Amino acid sequence: MNIRDIQYNRYFLVVADGENFPESACKSAAVFAKGFNKGLALISLAEQNTEAFKQASEAFFRQADYPFICEACTGAIEDLCDLTERTESPMLFIEINPKGRFSKVMTWFKGLRDLRIPFILMKTGMEITDFDHILVPISYLVEEKEKGPYTSNMGRFLKSHIHLLQAKDYGSKTPRNVADITALYDKFKESEPIEYSIVQASKDSFKVDREAVARTAEFDAKMIVISTSRDYGLDDLFFGPKEQHVFQATTVPVMCINPRGDLYVLCW
């Protein structure tokens, strides 16, 4: 089957290599599928899944109380951008397995540059039970406001407590971003109150993402939410962009949002 032939509608999407079953990614996606009352699609970029993969997926989904599909298809990572738009997938989940075909995290960052929905990266072996606390570093960049709608949905449907880590910057841009995000949260005060807190970071906007990684245990955070780089400069090409360093250091899943001028927010 070709990836262009995959059919489903508004399912949370987990992508795999057809050899290594992404248990952590499936557990994460299952939390969202249950919380948002949606389905889960496990798609392998492979001619066919191995028998071990099939057995593991059958065992995982045997007790599923949400709709799901599991398919193998030919296609490239870049094709996922079209797939998610065509199927209206609200989010993409990726598990990085050091033994897998897609073990280099930069392969994903580069291949998903045109992705218009958040993607969550995690490492094999991460224990996923819930996302009751999430840590959201906020810098002065205008695209940080895009974190608001996605995290507000987690606050509403997953009952996540959102910790906004405000970068220690001079000027009004960062506080304004925080104010705009919390104003969105407060709109649900009467119907679906969102629990959140604002925490002053000790680092500026250039280092606040790494500070978030270092403080996950302090807030019992089960996820970090970051924006990816707008463009890759020479330093990024030689030493790796900030999102690569965040992922390498993290002990929890990382939600990544691409900063695009035409970035839209799906109504989950």
pLDDT in tens, the chain (268 residues): 899 999 999 999 999 999 999 999 999 999 999 999 999 999 999 999 999 999 999 999 998 999 999 999 999 999 999 999 999 999 999 999 999 999 999 999 999 999 999 999 999 999 999 999 999 999 999 999 999 999 999 999 999 999 999 999 999 999 999 999 999 999 999 999 999 999 999 999 999 999 999 999 999 999 999 999 876 665 656 567 889 999 999 999 999 999 866 544 444 4
| β-bridge partners, 43 | 15, 71
- Residue 102 three-state SS: coil
pLDDT of res. 20: 97
Residue type, 189: K
d(CA 28, CA 33) in angstroms, rounded, equals 9
Q: Which domains does the chain have, with CATH numbers?
A: 3-123 (3.40.50.620), 133-254 (3.40.50.620)
Residue type, 120: I
pLDDT of res. 265: 47
d(CA 221, CA 136) in angstroms, rounded, equals 10
With beta carbons less than 8 A apart as the criterion, state whether 152 and 161 touch: no
pLDDT of res. 235: 62
With beta carbons less than 8 A apart as the criterion, state whether 80 and 38 touch: no
pLDDT of res. 268: 47
- Residue 234 three-state SS: helix
pLDDT of res. 255: 98
